[in-house]
Amino acid sequence: DEAKLKRAVIERVSAKLNKKPLEVAKHPIGIETRVHDVKKMLENGSNINGVLVVGIHGMGGLGKTTIAKAVYNDLAQGFNGATCFISNVRENAGQPNGLVNLQKQFVGDILKEKNTSLGDVAQGKIVIKERASRKRVLLILDDVDNIKQVDALAGGRDWFGSGSVIIITTRNEKVLLDGNVKQDEIYKPQELNEDQSRELFMLHAFNGEQPQGEYVQLSNQVVAAAGGLPLTLEVIGSLLSSIKNVKEWKDTLEKLKKIPHREVQQRLKLSYDNLEDLEKKIFLDISCFFIGKNRKNATYMWEDSGWFPNAAIQVLVQRCLVKIHVINTMYEKYEVFEMHDQIRDMARAIVDEESYGKPQQQSRLWNNQDCWDLLQRK
């Protein structure tokens, strides 16, 4: 009848309106082949219960989230709004009520229910399983590090309807295997090859233009030292774009070479070390308190302290240490801070180091447990 039709139309339209494509990367390189690889794996996977699963595994900064976003954008159209991209599962699950809140996101995005009360994780599982098992869904769990997270959000293939697609990214392959993802469903993206690495580096270091003179040779050496890891290429490239003399380029290259490939955070710290004092402070503040928070509120606070936040933020964005994400809802538009998890962890390690394990000497208390311990002691 008419009412039913109306509701169906509203649901469809609002589903489409709320689901914009995700921003993939500032300068995406070689993404199509990676998306193609994942889609091939989905087609050839074990297809248990009609549900297609692919795990994406690799080290931090390799491009797993980027690939997951690109796959999501590619497939989302076919799911009629029943799509859900759960970001930063590791970080969010660790917050108070973390897992339940992630389950609520699923219920909101896929089942379109805003205020369902889930009580606890066990109840959340029952709701999801009961209500999604006849739905064809596209679900991305990005950056999981514990089987409990997979269990809470996608505890079995019988939770979802036939034709559903589940993509899980992680640095820890064991989580995938424990979650019953089969070896032939695990995608291990390669690092960027030399040409791709050079291209990404040039885009960040020279805005895509050709370097001149000594910088040609130096660029090649930096690219070789960066070892095909997109995050390193991006951060070191943007750092070097702000350095205009050969000597400092050489110094940076030497430092980079000394830090092993796997020590990604130490490599990223080269960019932090190069910041001015106020930029450093604002950067650390963002990493501890303002990720996902409104830029305006934080800016007022820094201005009150006599800092110059807007100039500093511009530098941090240019260095790819911080990203600004525009939130655009039906009612308002505002900017929030984003930070890559490796960069965030690098920053918080700097804050922790200041105090050598004594939270009361720390400049910023970001850890719930530390705050609680300290308050109890007073």
147 in Cβ contact with 178 (< 8 Å) = yes
- DSSP assignment of 341-373, as one string? HHHHHHHHHHHHHHHTT-GGG-S----HHHHHH
| Shortest Cβ 239–ligand ATP spacing (Å) | 14
Give the residue, chosen from 63, 81, 179, 309, that forms a contact with ligand ATP under the rule CB under 6 A: 63
Distance CA 99, CA 329 (A): 25
Distance CA 177, CA 158 (A): 18
**Interacting stretch for ligand ATP, rule CB under 6 A, among 43-51, 57-65, 116-124, 351-359?**
57-65
| Contact code string over 53-82 relative to Mg ion, x by CB under 5 A | ------------x-----------------
Upper half-sphere CA count for residue 255 (Cβ side, 13 Å): 17
Query: If contact means CB under 5 to 8 A according to the sort of partner, which of Mg ion, ligand ATP, none does residue 103 touch?
Result: none
By the rule CB under 6 A, 25 interacts with ligand ATP:
yes
Query: For ligand ATP, which residue has the nearest CB?
Result: 63
By the rule CB under 5 A, 149 interacts with Mg ion:
no
Torsion of CA 186, 191, 193, 198, to 10 degrees: 150
145: tokens are 């590090």
66 in Cβ contact with 230 (< 8 Å) = yes
* Residue whose CB is less far from ligand ATP, 185 or 234: 234
Distance CA 47, CA 52 (A): 5
Site for ligand ATP in 121-160 (CB under 6 A): 143
* Residue whose CB is less far from Mg ion, 135 or 171: 171
Separation of CA 336 from chain center: 14
| Contact code string over 204-233 relative to ligand ATP, x by CB under 6 A | --------------------------xx--
347 in Cβ contact with 283 (< 8 Å) = yes
- Interface with Mg ion by CB under 5 A: which residues? 65, 143
- Interface with ligand ATP by CB under 6 A: which residues? 25-31, 58, 60-66, 143, 171, 200, 230-231, 234, 340-342
